Amino acid sequence: MFENKQNPLTPLSEIGEFGLIHRIKNAVKLQQPGTEKGIGDDAAVLDFKTYKTVVATDMLTEGVHFNLGYVPLKHLGYKAVTSNLSDICAMNAIPTQILVSIAVSDRFPLEAIDELYQGILIACNKYNVDVVGGDTTSSNSGLIISITALGQQKADKIVYRNSAKYNDLLVVTGDLGAAYFGLQILERENEVWKVNPQVQPDLTAYDYILSRQLRPEARVDIIKLLDKLEVQPTAMIDISDGLASETMHLAEQSEVGFHIFEEKIPMDHQVIHAGEEFKINPAMAALNGGEDYELLFTISMKDYDKIKGNPNFSVIGHAVSQSEGCHLIGRDNSFKTELNAQGWDAFKKYKSEMKKSQTTEE
């Protein structure tokens, strides 16, 4: 593809590591008052004043977390940022800065990195977050993205996973299951495309679930809304692995159990339709699909009136005693089944994929 004279692509080795750093530095605009020094020295210097510093990190690897066959680089950059900011939100904190490290193999031209960074910077701009550092290097295989996000919050506003109380209400933001079905659509269309690259599919009917998979948002708006409503969650986590797995994290760390009512789980109508199409119970996608990046939190009963009727929130259950465990209750009490975490596990997923590919090869 380097032969294309009209639109020649630039090998990364041509501009080198320092060239790439300069390029990124020039594209970054700092917005946070707490960023005293961004890219360009040995380290960034930040001022969190009287706030606590909240910090989280995530690593995404090609072929495990994303498939460039159907995920555009710009979306990947955007999602890499928002999925990280979501961890900061899950502490009831406001994200302020990120550091971005990428390793790329020789098959990526400069233009690909530019696209990835475009997505990163669009997300940073939207969320008012500064890129203050990072590393760019080569890898012997695919693309790896590692992002560290920092945020801030007053000491008494930070929310951990371990402080849900018996009888607290379990609340989730937005709706669930869409990211999972978005991925099913992308994988299906990718198979179709492999057979016939001429097909131009009409994906309008799936626009919402596709955007939830490709361009998830971090619920910084919810953190601000909770502050405005004067609701202080008692425990909080973000939904990256699925509602079941995250509920069990809250339960384990808070030493409580939970009842979740199936009919209360918020799902978009596209999720319901996709469930019918793929013959998958949409509630199962919500429970085990993951990547929705909504917030799951508990509040004291006394705060119920503050969120009642607010379309951003769904009360889906409540905390019970630890000995009762975590259960999903069916419509009209039709069933009561123990939750189990079939959420996303990088190593287990990898193992099963390896098995699949070995089986295919045999």
Q: Residues 96 to 115: which contact a second copy by CB under 8 A?
A: 97, 99, 101-103, 106
* Beta strands 326-329; 256-261: pairing state: parallel
Tell me 148's DSSP state. E
Q: Is residue 342 a contact point for a second copy (CB under 8 A)?
A: no
Bridge partner list, 260: 317, 328
Q: With CB under 8 A as the contact rule, which of the stretches 83-91, 175-183, 192-200, 263-271 interacts with a second copy? A: 83-91
Q: Is residue 318 a contact point for a second copy (CB under 8 A)?
A: no
Site for a second copy in 218-247 (CB under 8 A): 236-238
Indicate the SS3 state at residue 356.
Answer: helix
Exactly one of 68, 158, 225, 315 binds a second copy (CB under 8 A); that residue is 158
Nearer to a second copy, 93 or 267 (CB): 93
Exactly one of 32, 82, 148, 254 binds a second copy (CB under 8 A); that residue is 148
Nearer to a second copy, 236 or 267 (CB): 236
| Contact yes or no for 214/71 (Cβ under 8 A) | yes
Q: Is residue 48 a contact point for a second copy (CB under 8 A)?
A: yes
We find the least distance from the C-beta atom of residue 227 to a second copy, in angstroms, to be 18
What are the residues whose beta carbons fall under 8 Å from the beta carbon of 277, sequence distance 6 or more?
none
Give the other-Cβ count within 10 Å of 114's Cβ: 17
Q: Is residue 349 a contact point for a second copy (CB under 8 A)?
A: yes
Distance between CA atoms of residues 57 and 109, nearest Å: 26
Indicate the SS3 state at residue 249.
Answer: helix
Nearer to a second copy, 2 or 18 (CB): 18
Q: Is residue 47 a contact point for a second copy (CB under 8 A)?
A: yes
Exactly one of 28, 54, 120, 186 binds a second copy (CB under 8 A); that residue is 54
Nearer to a second copy, 65 or 259 (CB): 65
What's the N-to-C CA distance of the chain in angstroms?
33
| Contact yes or no for 101/108 (Cβ under 8 A) | no
